[in-house]
Structure 1
Amino acid sequence: MIALNCSHFSKKIASIPLTVLYGIFMLFAGGVGLIMTPPFLVPDEPSHFIRAYQVAQGGMTGTRISPTQSGAYLPETVEDIAKPFTPFFTDKGEKITGSILAQAFDMQWSTPPVFVNMPNTVVYPPTSYIGGAAGIFVAQRLNASPFGTFYLARAGSLILNTCLGMLALWIAGDAGVFLLILLAMPACVSLEASCSQDGLVLGLTALAVSILLQLAKRPVSDWNNWLVVGLSLTFGCIAAAKVPYLSFICLPFLICPLKDWKKPLSILGGGLVFFLLWTLIQIQSSVPLLGMPGSSSAEQLHYLLNAPAKVINVTLTTLRLKSGHLFRQVMGMLGWGYVNLPKKFYTLGEIALFLSFMWPFFGRLKSVRNKEFLIRTSLLLGVFLITTEGIFMVLYLVFSPVGASYVFGLQGRYFIPLFMILALCPAFLPKNATNENATSALAKPCLMRVFLALFMLYSLCTLYSTLSAHYW
């Protein structure tokens, strides 16, 4: 009787959808990220808030008033509201005080509009700010204060990004275990509960990967046309937000036979058209971005063209110096990238990432020697490496001093979408690959969900304790 009850209980646990686990987690963790992260203490959040406010006002593109200034005519308060928190952008171990909050809380909307410069975010597509703009739209209807408007913008982003994550996990099913672990990392929670466009990029990437996981189970002839259109638009939005992610539009080719190239080509074409259209639109408002002292995109490009081997040297030096730090940032370094989590979290986070990635392969390890699996996995790693090099080179050209030996301005958040696409690896297993250990087939989903729940609880507690101890 006890054995039967245990078996019944295990099946009940195993039947809990991943999307439910994530929704419950974000109900608490999202609230912690939204409230406990001080205003504007997510990378570039002041500029992202200004851009979201412009989109809420109906502004799709910026206005360039000089070779170095591009932005929009908005209430001056959208820029001033962040000033009380500027000293915390570079971490000095100081606490947020009541007087600082009161200063921001007491601000009122200014009139008339003035030109607000935002060269680093004006080039981003309005689709990246749908959540934040929706929150600001609601705030305006409620006549909210600038401080209240900011938090409603965060709330709008959080709701949309959480819904995207839940939709992605619902589509992926149990194949989304690795995605769930990534989404439950403090780094992702912090971005999704902010005004930053990176939160939406994470949600869209998770959604795109989950759709590909489902399409991989079907013959190409059975691919739903609406999913194909949605996938092409999703890839277009991702690429428009971050140019190096343009390589993601090649991913559909990895999940289908070579002869069935037409629908993957239509996805590639649709995503490319969206990306190119936005590129042509935003050119009129783009200006050269200011990097580190001594940086110049033109001179840097000339330097690389004269010595192409420097690209390899810069890449290898950057990986040697920063790979460990960047990987920790993928899991979570809060604030503007200076607030470390406890060391044991990084250790357990690495274990969680490894186990969740390997979970679909348990009982099917012999299938990884399949030639087609190895080829497709190698191509996926090629996309990973090409995109990584793209990120390196963009920041090297734009942000790094001319002739620098490594890339300046790198942050782990840029690489989270790259880890998400690795969730496609199980889709490359042969369709007839069966579980080689049938006796554990029922236990695995149950144990996996217990493991996920425990890790998410630990992530939630770590997020809360780190933010409260550091800032409050």
Structure 2
Amino acid sequence: MIAPPAQTPSSQVQAQQEESASALRIRVAAIFAEHRSRLIPTHSKEARAARLYPMLYVGFALPVILVLCFVSLPCFVPDEANHLLRADQVSCGEVIGESAQGAEAGGQVDSGLLRLANGFSRLRNRWKARYTGAAHPPARISLREFQSLETIQWSGSAKWAGFGNTAIYPPTSYLPQAAGLWMGARFGLSVLHTIFLARLLTALCAMALGCWAIAICGSGRLLLAVVLLLPQTLYLYASMSQDAMLIAYTLCGLALVSRAVTESRLLSSSELPLALCFFLMCAAARPPLLLLSAVLLLPPLCLRRTRRETLRTLGCLALLAAVTLAWSWRAKHLGPLTTWNGGNPPAQVIYVQHHLSQVPGIALHTIKADWGKLLFSMIGCFGYLDTFLPGMAYPLFLELLVAAVLLDSRRRRVRPALALLVVASVAGVVAVMYALEYLIATPPGGGHALGMQGRYLLPLLPALGLLGVVLPRPREWGRPALVLVLAGIVDLRLPLILASEFYHQSLWGVLQMIW
């Protein structure tokens, strides 16, 4: 019998290396499959909703947003002119705004961009003049005015501009806007067409994050999708405002928490840092949202792991708060605080200190005076906050939001008292927002807070979807998708409404004028 040839040392080493490589590939595939099963639902109904809801969202939102990117007049979204200047600053590599002695913070921006922003700001002021009663030119933009602004080119020379209310924001909320401005300037596009490009990139990035959030979300998936289909959300996505990315970041963080709570498990080693990053980017841009990150405590509390896991989450929240406060402290020293409506924070603080007994009355009066306006502006309020949807659209969207919470409930064995954590975090964010508005946007001694806008509530609404884990599941499943269909059908009218309000031409004529 012939013996097999003996293996040489080199062949033995090669065989061992192949076995090690094969074992490594198997291990990597197992890890990928484990994380994929956690980030993407695998149950039949969950998988069906995870595929259907993003498809419905994209099918209705994408055409509306693509048209709005061009039809919506630049600088007509709240504070969009200053967001535009801040995005240009970020595109030049400036992480934070520059301070100016005795003046509001700002920075160096392209003079051509500044000229276009001032041109559209004049149009917006003319729009505002409709309410003064004095003689003024027509509010709608004409073809000649549009063509004069369309010819403005990038100058290549920098000029100082003040934009104190946006210079303090972190660059993470302006990444797609800055990328669009940078590409447009390098490719030789006009300033106006560059803004359109930046809007498109912002909308696509925000929509991509929104689709991912819908796909991975557990309880509250339907509510999250309805919030993304609100006309106000679509209007902000098709703009240069930081609210577009801010809403997307918040929804992604809430979706990760919702998935873990629904599956009765902790956030994985990859999900927890990701959720922290999303909440950090939100809190740095809008500090009251720091309170919303308290929902990260839900997974360990639901599993009654109140020691090691809860302490680890509390440590993460402490780090999140430290970074947020450090950024806010740095931004505070850029310049004087931006105020409006005659606000005077030092005088307002003195008034509150001497009239503490009136604070509950001020809060009740604010709720009574603001709740209707807040709901309207949360669903859709455009232009100079004076352009609205058809009257029946508002009660319809309110009913769709309530139906989304009830139809997407999935009761788990969790303590109902944990719902108080969700409610308290959302209520805390709203209370801090109102307190800040009372300081900086309300005259000293005002009877109720001014300046609160419904768009501030959009990142908070999906958090209420976490309440679905303590609500009973409805008997029927499969009809919730009709909620998204109804919302999408109403959204299709939004470009027509804005075109008829802003321009003399029809929607098709506006698109032909732009291109």
TM-score, structure 1 normalization: 0.88
Q: Deviations over 1:112-158 (max 9, x none)?
A: 31211110100001111111011112112212221122112211211
1:371-450 maps to which residues of 2 (within 5 A)?
A: 372-373=415-416, 375-428=417-470, 437=475, 440=476, 444-445=477-478, 447-450=479-482
Q: CA deviation at 1:110?
A: 3.2
1:41 aligned to 76, 93, 96, which one?
A: 76
Residues 393, 174 of structure 1: CA spacing in aligned structure 2 closer, same or farther, 3 A cutoff?
closer
Q: How many pairs does the alignment contain? A: 444
Contact kept? 2:219, 2:258, Cα under 8 Å:
no
d(CA) in 1 for partners of 2:474 and 2:243? 40
1:306 aligned to 346, 354, 357, which one?
A: 354
Contact kept? 1:255, 1:427, Cα under 8 Å:
no
Structure 2 letter corresponding to 1:459: D
d(CA) in 2 for partners of 1:270 and 1:403? 37
Contact kept? 1:42, 1:194, Cα under 8 Å:
yes
Q: Deviations over 1:90-124 (max 9, x none)?
A: 54382221122112111123353121111010000
Structure 2 letter corresponding to 1:279: S
Q: CA deviation at 1:353?
A: 0.9
Tell me the secondary structure at the aligned position of residue 94 of structure 1. coil
Q: Deviations over 1:239-263 (max 9, x none)?
A: 1111111101211113432514034
1:54-453 maps to which residues of 2 (within 5 A)?
A: 54-86=89-121, 87-88=123-124, 90-91=127-128, 92=130, 94-110=139-155, 112-172=157-217, 175-218=220-263, 220=265, 222-257=266-301, 258=304, 259=306, 260-293=309-342, 295-361=343-409, 372-373=415-416, 375-428=417-470, 437=475, 440=476, 444-445=477-478, 447-453=479-485
Residues 411, 284 of structure 1: CA spacing in aligned structure 2 closer, same or farther, 3 A cutoff?
same
Structure 2 letter corresponding to 1:146: V
Structure 1 letter corresponding to 2:72: T
Larger radius of gyration: 2
Q: CA deviation at 1:64?
A: 1.1
Residues 17, 262 of structure 1: CA spacing in aligned structure 2 closer, same or farther, 3 A cutoff?
farther
2:492 maps to 1:457: no
Contact kept? 1:252, 1:267, Cα under 8 Å:
no
d(CA) in 2 for partners of 1:11 and 1:263? 30
2:65 maps to 1:30: yes
Tell me the secondary structure at the aligned position of residue 144 of structure 1. coil
Unaligned runs of 5+ in 2: 1-44, 131-137, 504-515
d(CA) in 2 for partners of 1:140 and 1:227? 37
Contact kept? 2:218, 2:258, Cα under 8 Å:
no
Tell me the secondary structure at the aligned position of residue 147 of structure 2. helix
Q: CA deviation at 1:41?
A: 1.1
Q: CA deviation at 1:371?
A: 8.6
Q: CA deviation at 1:223?
A: 2.5
Contact kept? 1:18, 1:174, Cα under 8 Å:
no
Q: Deviations over 1:252-288 (max 9, x none)?
A: 1134325140342243134223313322432342422
Contact kept? 2:297, 2:313, Cα under 8 Å:
yes
d(CA) in 2 for partners of 1:111 and 1:411? 36
d(CA) in 2 for partners of 1:151 and 1:409? 29
Percent of aligned pairs with the same amino acid: 23
2:492 maps to 1:471: no
Q: CA deviation at 1:13?
A: 8.2
- List, as ranges, runs of 4+ consecutive aligned residues in structure 1 with deviation greater than 6 Å: 10-15
d(CA) in 1 for partners of 2:61 and 2:287? 29
d(CA) in 2 for partners of 1:234 and 1:26? 23
d(CA) in 2 for partners of 1:330 and 1:275? 26
Q: CA deviation at 1:310?
A: 2.8
Tell me the secondary structure at the aligned position of residue 80 of structure 1. helix
Residues 267, 214 of structure 1: CA spacing in aligned structure 2 closer, same or farther, 3 A cutoff?
farther
Farther off after superposition, 86-95 or 30-39:
86-95
Unaligned runs of 5+ in 1: 1-9
Instruction: Give me the CA root mean square deviation.
Output: 2.4
Contact kept? 1:39, 1:85, Cα under 8 Å:
yes
Farther off after superposition, 193-202 or 135-144:
135-144
1:52 aligned to 87, 90, 93, which one?
A: 87
